[in-house]
Amino acid sequence: MKALKIKIKGLTASFRYPLFISGYQPTLTVPPLSTVLGLISAAAGEVIRRVNFGLGYNFSYQARAVDLETAYEIGEKLSFKTNVWRREFLFEPELTLYLTDLNLQSLFKKPVYQLLLGRSQDLAWVAGIDEIELAKVDKATLKGCLVPVGVQGAVGPLVSLPVIFDGGYPRKRLKTEKFIIIDRECQVRDEKNLYLDPDEDYGVYLYDPEYFC
């Protein structure tokens, strides 16, 4: 299967753990699908309302650390107070996107809005775009991705994460699913969604367009 392979790099990244509202803020070690769709939307300059392409990604980073962050807590009548949180972040993150719609290449050659890997200060840039051939397999070693619950052999933290939001304000979740975070090497089996990139060490779990409906 032909696919776009897009490498996106940054200095920092932080992906909010949905269970933590205030206080210490740990980061997910892999971006949720909704964050990746938000990044593609930023490149397109409009909210992606219909995902009509296959989407996979692998994510890596060099280190994890904790920083102090000022939070502005909004109250009634536009009053606010400040607080200081400890926020975990990932250093030198790299996201490799796999998209089956080759026409999306133009979006990443000249993104409309700034690309982010989490918060507004987690600026990112496109480090490379290639057209590749993904090979279908039924067994692969994965690392740095999310797979749906039920994928045979997948081991990692179980989390419930948003898949897609609407484009309104305030945003509404249109779909939430349970995922397994694969942060360490893990050999899995799947007859439908597993592929190999011949130039990488790990396989690719490719989400079908139907998954986002």
Q: What is the DSSP string of 101-126?
A: -GGGHHHHHS-SS-EESSSTT-EEEE
Model pTM score:
0.91
Band (pLDDT 50/70/90 cuts) for residue 167 is confident
- Summary mean pLDDT of the chain: 93
- More confident site: 18 or 4: 4
> What does the pLDDT look like over 17-40, one tens digit per residue?
877 776 789 999 999 999 999 999
Burial of 46 (0-12, 13-18, 19+ CB in 10 A): exposed
Strand duo 63-74 + 135-136: pairing: unpaired
Domains and CATH numbers, the chain: 2-136+190-212 (3.30.70.2660)
Band (pLDDT 50/70/90 cuts) for residue 170 is confident
Q: What is the distance in angstroms between the CA of the first residue and the CA of the last residue of the chain?
A: 22
